[in-house]
Chains A and B, each alone.
Chain A
């Protein structure tokens, strides 16, 4: 199970990195989302996979046998997913605004270096 997840994580990282270096900002945002998911899966995997043993304390208050699944990585991932969701929502709105003002989703066309610079309002 671990080795399969390792391959999946590696694939996600590779795909994310590949998308990040593309010029299109839409692909860049997709790449960011993939990177975030890869990091989440990474936390899940290195936090030890334990199958079918939820970290619940039974009604009598005694845990029958160890090991049970570690709840901390799951809590971390949950937090990271929520944060990632917010950040990606912002990023989507941002690229829409960028597209509206610049008229292109190509990063190479997004530079005012050669135009008149520094005019303050």
Chain B
């Protein structure tokens, strides 16, 4: 059953290849995309089930024993992320049926989405640092093309910033990996964890850790490296931004958590104050940026940054409760924020604009849409009993236990700011009177409407359910956090007897 771990890589790869072969048949590509994402969700949940029953799974590519070959590893954290990626892939693919225009589809939109998923699944599963770099590049090249696909002027401007910053991050990552190999002579993450315990954390080691931190922080849009995100995320189609914000920046955080729990334990580097500071500033600057935005997509882009800060806060605190809070929050934010983005896309489709000043009075025509925007918005702000509340509760509790009062105050203050700007946006969209010069609403064909509504509704429901019944999911996150903090099990699962 260990070959199960290869399936999340084989499914999107095979689909992408088949999709490229069926270049001009858009219907085939669409069905392939939906089929692949469904399969990925099923495989993700069965991996999660197996990890629950048998502990951490590992598979050696080509049967090369552990530190020499490439290892794939799935612990609870990566299995949860895989499941979430499958689900997000499915929602976005269905949404794209209505949202992506024929020009994008004829230029390979669906196969590219699969390549993106391939890179994401690979990053979640790999147990080898250089392999991680390769998956990052797979993910990046797909995201470059998705971002630029369509060729509008603003997209080009967004793409050039995104490409430049991400390539710098890759160069940093590559340099860090090279230096790490020079110091330890291995690239297997579990093996690195053992090797680095043997050498003192002075000289080159902190430099390597800093290089890797910078590289992953750029990808995750952490302060002070976040400025590329609002410069580029508002330009591509909504479906593309949704999957970028749900998965790409979260891969960065996932890898930060993985690397700084397993390879470089933070205590040894005394890096905690740095990460906590970055977390607080990311929250604050994201929220302040969002308040100033007159346009919905930019507002949500800044909101993405602000939430990244909370995820980083869990890593900085480094207690099992804090990490569990981070993981719960990460899953919550994928669902809730994507529901917001998808609803925004629907509004943009109907009204032809996302500028708040030009919108209004939608509540009278579409009360369901108003609820669909309000529930995830309140969830993101952290209003009980929605999912965001439980993640924040765990993080704040962990923060108080670690006596990080200032950071806790910032986290709570930013929650209020988040509530403020999201509710203001809601009022602008739905509550205030329609401006006199507003354009006529487009009525969507029923099929299209459902293709766009159902994914948004599903994600909002996931967020609502996770809020009303947080216990099972939180227990899973807790297990994942325990596995991250006590990494012996991970090392043993990868290296087996040879230690």
Contacts and interface: CB of A to CB of B under 8 A. Distances in A.
Contact of A94 (B144, B170, B187, B348): B144
B295 A118 contact: yes
A111 B354 contact: no
Interface string B169-182: 01100110111011
A111 B157 contact: yes
B179 A46 contact: yes
Contacts of A38: 171, 175
A43 B181 CA distance: 8
Contact of A36 (B157, B171, B182, B187): B171
Q: Which of B134, B144, B182, B352 has the most CB of A within 10 A?
A: B182
Nearest to B138: A83
Nearest to B347: A120
Interface string A11-44: 0000010001000010010001001101110110
Contacts, number: 120
Interface string A99-121: 00110000100111000011111
Contacts of B179: 42, 46
Interface in B291-319: 294-298
Given A39-B174, A46-B182, A97 B164 contact: no
A40 to B, nearest CB: 8
B130 A28 contact: no
Contacts of A42: 175, 178-179
Q: In the complex, which range does the number of interface residues on chain B fall in?
A: 35 or more
A117 B355 CA distance: 8
A101 B151 contact: yes
B174 A32 contact: no
Interface residues of A, number: 41
B191 interface: no
Interface in B458-492: none
Contacts of B144: 90, 94
A90 to B, nearest CB: 6
B443 interface: no
B175 A39 contact: yes
B175 A90 contact: no
A109 B101 CA distance: 29
Contacts of B145: 90
A46 B151 contact: no
Interface in B340-370: 348-349, 352-355
Contacts of A20: 164, 168
A106 to B, nearest CB: 11
A80 B133 CA distance: 9
A83 B182 contact: no
Nearest to A111: B157
A120 B181 CA distance: 47
Contact of A95 (B160, B174, B354, B355): B160
A5 interface: no
Contacts of B134: 79, 83
A112 B153 contact: yes
B178 A47 contact: yes
Nearest to B136: A83
B221 interface: no
Contacts of B234: 118
A73 B178 contact: yes
Contacts of B383: none
Given A87-B137, A98-B160, A39 B181 contact: no
B148 interface: yes
A37 B133 CA distance: 16
Nearest to B130: A76
Nearest to B180: A46
B407 interface: no
Given A39-B174, A39-B175, A97-B156, A46 B181 contact: yes
B196 interface: no
Given A32-B167, A101-B151, 4 more contacts: A20-B164, A39-B171, A118-B353, A120-B349
7 contacts: A39-B178, A80-B174, A83-B137, A94-B160, A101-B152, A111-B157, A120-B349
Interface of B: 101, 130, 133-134, 137, 140-141, 144-145, 148, 151-154, 156-157, 159-160, 163-164, 167-168, 170-171, 174-175, 177-179, 181-183, 187, 234, 294-298, 348-349, 352-355
For the complex of A and B, list the 3 residue pairs with the smallest distance between their C-beta atoms, beginning with the closest. Answer: A46-B182, A43-B178, A118-B295
